[in-house]
Amino acid sequence: MLARRLLMSILLVVPVGPVAAQVTLVRDTTTPPPTTTAPPAAPMSAPSPTDTVVVPFDDRYPPSEDHAKTMLERSPRHGEFVDVTSPSGVALRTWVSYPERKDRAGTVVIIHEIFGLSDWIRGVADQLAKEGFIAVAPDLISGLGPGGGGTDSVASRDDVVKLVRTLTPEETTARLNAVRAYAAKIPAGNGKIATMGFCWGGGKSFAYAANDPPPQAAVVFYGVSPDSVTLPNVRAPVLGLYGGDDARVNMTIDAAKAALKKKGHSYDPHLYDGAGHGFLRAQSLRGGANLAATRKAWPEAISFLKKYLK
């Protein structure tokens, strides 16, 4: 008898007509190998900042950059380019979007990103018009491009950035003052003006809240706060809307809060977890966080504007 193996043979006779089939069953009693436990499944990781999501068309919010041109083409609202003369005599190419309403409307001067007057900025203007405001979006680098052109005259986005960086604070303010003066005289407007800026323009919107006279209100999308010399002069109420993962900008929030609180002026910053810089334009990025931020921040902006421009 073998020590490690016992073979048991059982002869089965199964009738299958005139012949019997023999089946031998063999049971192996060898000690089975030890069972192993599968390692636990790795926990699902959070979406990567580079993950993208599909952004559906939704007319309650501004379009993402990819949808802007299509949304402009579909819009039933009137929009047009006008030239606004700057103090130096430069014609500032300016996009104006009008709401469909029977009474006078408040006006929002949009200060573009460092990428200039793009289709996306015009899409934001159209969305503001849908919300009932007149939106005025100047190309602040008008006259600085080849042949005296602006954003449309240069070959690449990098070239636009270079031109925007040539604008001094004084020249930027002078150009905004000219656009504001034009906006205040639009016959369909009620004379009340707010600013709304993005990225580079967000910082300029915040700084323009210190202008004399100040606008009725200022909306800042992910723009840096003014310096310590300018902050004490901020008098317009300011709404700040920031991506939570935008430390370069967000590190300037606390100083602004302290300075404006000391002066008794209104500054209401909101940070959106997981969202990055430029979230309103790049809605498909950061695994849905930018889209979620857009859907929270835009209603905040509209409510704020309605409060101060009615």
**What domains can be seen in the chain, in order of their start residue?**
65-309 (3.40.50.1820)
For 249, phi and psi rounded to 5 degrees? Answer: -85, -45
Which pLDDT belongs to residue 95? Answer: 98
Say what the pLDDT of residue 48 is.
Answer: 63
Low-confidence stretches of the chain (pLDDT beneath 50):
1-36, 38, 41-45
SS3 196: strand
Phi-psi map region of 217: left, alpha, beta (phi>0 left; psi -120 to 50 alpha) = beta
pLDDT for 17 equals 39
For residues 289 and 267, give the distance between their C-alpha atoms in angstroms, rounded to a whole number. Answer: 24
Q: CA-CA distance, 204 to 199, in Å (whole number)?
A: 9
This prediction's pTM: 0.84
pLDDT at 169: 96
